[in-house]
Amino acid sequence: MPETRQRPANTGHRPIKAGGGIEPHWHDRHQIVYAGRGVLSVTTDAGSWVAPGTRAIWVPAGTVHQHRAYGETTLHTVGLTENPLDLDAPSALVVSPLLRELILTYTAEEKAESAEWRRLRGVLLDQLRRSPQRPTYLPTAKDARLAAVCELLRSDPADNRTLTELGREVGASERTLSRLCKADLGMTFPQWRTQLRLHEALRLLAEGHSVTQVAHACGWASTSAFIDTFRRAFGHTPGSRRA
């Protein structure tokens, strides 16, 4: 990433225009990042996390990261001195309807220290501890051969070539690339490709494309197959995401 600087891990909210974002930076406190509207990505040197309305991103103190907005986005952030999740790496958390309302209320405006404020914060922390982690993570390849394959698919998520066929283009065998996927990415090639397609789908949906257009652009065999994969990943249909 380019040169970074420290930013305060403030609690609050701010609008971000479609395509806008916040350049690489870090905080001396932990942070919860949530898109109350739109879709937000959080990127580190290790990879990217994507946050639709059913996900929040945990960013530990000291982690260099940047944000990018897809669609008109409202960014909500909660700065924390404590680590209620006991996590030392970024992670995507499921946001229940209750947790969503707590985040929106807690970040609505600056609040003076009060008994009411402390109670709200306590419930928010309790709900964060109960939030299961869900994979919206797209890791970045370190090996040059695997990185070349990943870049081919980033440029065209609908590319349906097998790993063997892609390997011929970058000069690596299917066996070598499969081994690198597990070592570099921590997942299989089909799992990584699905994550890439889901990231691209969220971006296109936020930009106003139809569910059918998104399914085709991201390489699903049918719209119904896309809807099923999306529902299993995010807990709701892509049509409701657009709404």
Task: Break the chain into its structural domains and give their ranges.
Answer: 5-137, 141-242
Please report, for the chain, how many H helices and E strands are present, in that order.
9, 9
Binned at pLDDT 50, 70 and 90, residue 199 comes out as very high
Task: Answer for the pair 11, 51: CB distance below 8 angstroms, yes or no.
Answer: no
| 16 phi and psi angles, rounded to 5 deg | -130, 125
Radius of gyration of the chain (CA): 19
pTM, rounded to two decimals: 0.86
- For residue 170, the surrounding DSSP H or E stretch is helix 163-170
Q: Which CATH class is domain 141-242?
A: mainly alpha
pLDDT in tens, 217-228: 999 999 999 999
CB 73 within 8 A of CB 37: yes
Residue 2 has a pLDDT of 55
CA dist 154 and 127 (Å) reads: 35
> Under a CB-based contact definition with an 8 Å cutoff, are residues 208 and 172 in contact?
no
Average confidence (pLDDT) over 88-116: 88
What's the rounded Cα separation, in Å, for the pair 182 and 195? 15
Closest CA to 82 of 24, 129, 131: 129
**C-alpha atoms less than 13 angstroms from C-alpha of 149 in its C-beta half-sphere:** 30
- Token couple for 232: 């299993």
Distance CA 45, CA 53 (A): 24
Question: Which amino acid is residue 72, in one-letter code?
Answer: E
Q: Taking Cα atoms as reference points, which of 30, 63, 69, 58 lies closest to residue 44? A: 63
Q: Which of 44-48, 88-92, 136-140, 211-215 has the highest mean pLDDT?
A: 211-215
Three-state DSSP class for residue 179: helix
| Percent of the chain surpassing pLDDT 90 | 76
Is 13:55 a contact under the CB 8 Å cutoff? Answer: no
Rounded to the nearest 5°, which phi and psi values hold at 91? Answer: -155, 155
Beta-carbon-side half-sphere exposure of residue 141 (alpha carbons within 13 Å): 24
The structure tokens listed for 221 are 């065999």
**Nearest Cα residue to 169 out of 153, 184, 183, 158:** 153
Could you say which of 2.60.120.280, 3.40.630.30, 3.40.50.300, 3.40.50.2000 is the CATH number of the domain covering 5-137? Answer: 2.60.120.280
Structure-block tokens of residue 120: 């709200």
Residue 200, pLDDT above cutoff 70 = yes
The string of pLDDT tens digits covering residues 125-155 is 999 999 988 767 899 999 999 999 999 999 9
